Amino acid sequence: MLLIWLGWLSHIPYYQQSRIITLNIKMVTPMLDKPEKTRKLIGILDAAVPFEVDMMPDLIAHLARQQNPVAIKSIETVSKVSYLGDPGGITCHIQPEAAESAVVISLTHLRVRRTLPFAAAVHDYQKHRVKKLKKQTGM
């Protein structure tokens, strides 16, 4: 709760000065994603599962360098879609053939084939999210 003291009210009679004006103000970081558009896109992606995505070469290299390396191909199949809020956004669960567990990757690090009916919506989401991330980090 934020307390605001209005000192300049000294000319107002005491009984009126004794009122304390309070405001409930939430300090909220603006959301990266547009909630309604994101929910709609998640629904579309959920309905499309399984679908193929292209893995970026730097992502493949990064996963191979992990403490428990994961070997993934340049094209993988999404088995599930979820949402991790602002830190991760829309994520895709990918189960590589040789791995025991799934890899969860933010949609911003994947490429969806342009021939898929939802490709334009994914591209718009990625573009918006990257722009907001850059603005948030000051890059």
Write the CB contacts of 84 (distance below 8 Å, at least 6 apart in sequence). 91, 106
Query: In this structure, is residue 58 part of a structural domain?
Result: yes
Whether residue 16 has pLDDT greater than 50:
no
DSSP string covering 26-40: ---PPPSS-HHHHHH
Distance CA 87, CA 65 (A): 22
| Backbone phi, psi, residue 62, to 5° | -60, -45
Q: Which structure tokens are listed for 51? A: 């679908």
At residue 95, the pLDDT reads: 92
Query: In this structure, is residue 7 part of a structural domain?
Result: no
Query: In this structure, is residue 41 part of a structural domain?
Result: yes
At residue 30, the pLDDT reads: 57
At residue 139, the pLDDT reads: 63
Query: In this structure, is residue 26 part of a structural domain?
Result: no
Averaged pLDDT, 17-43: 68
At residue 53, the pLDDT reads: 97
Whether residue 4 has pLDDT greater than 90:
no
Residue 4, classed as helix, strand or coil, is strand
pTM above 0.75, yes or no: no
Q: Which domain holds residue 49?
A: 35-137
Query: In this structure, is residue 12 part of a structural domain?
Result: no
At residue 44, the pLDDT reads: 97
Query: In this structure, is residue 105 part of a structural domain?
Result: yes
Averaged pLDDT, 39-49: 96
Which residue, among 6, 23, 33, 17, has the nearest Cα to 91 in the 3D structure?
33
Which residue, among 116, 112, 72, 108, has the nearest Cα to 90 in the 3D structure?
108
Specify which residues 92 forms β-bridges with: 81, 105
Query: In this structure, is residue 15 part of a structural domain?
Result: no
- Name the domain count of the chain: 1
14: pLDDT confidence band, cut at 50, 70 and 90? very low
Query: In this structure, is residue 30 part of a structural domain?
Result: no
Q: What is the mean pLDDT of the chain?
A: 81
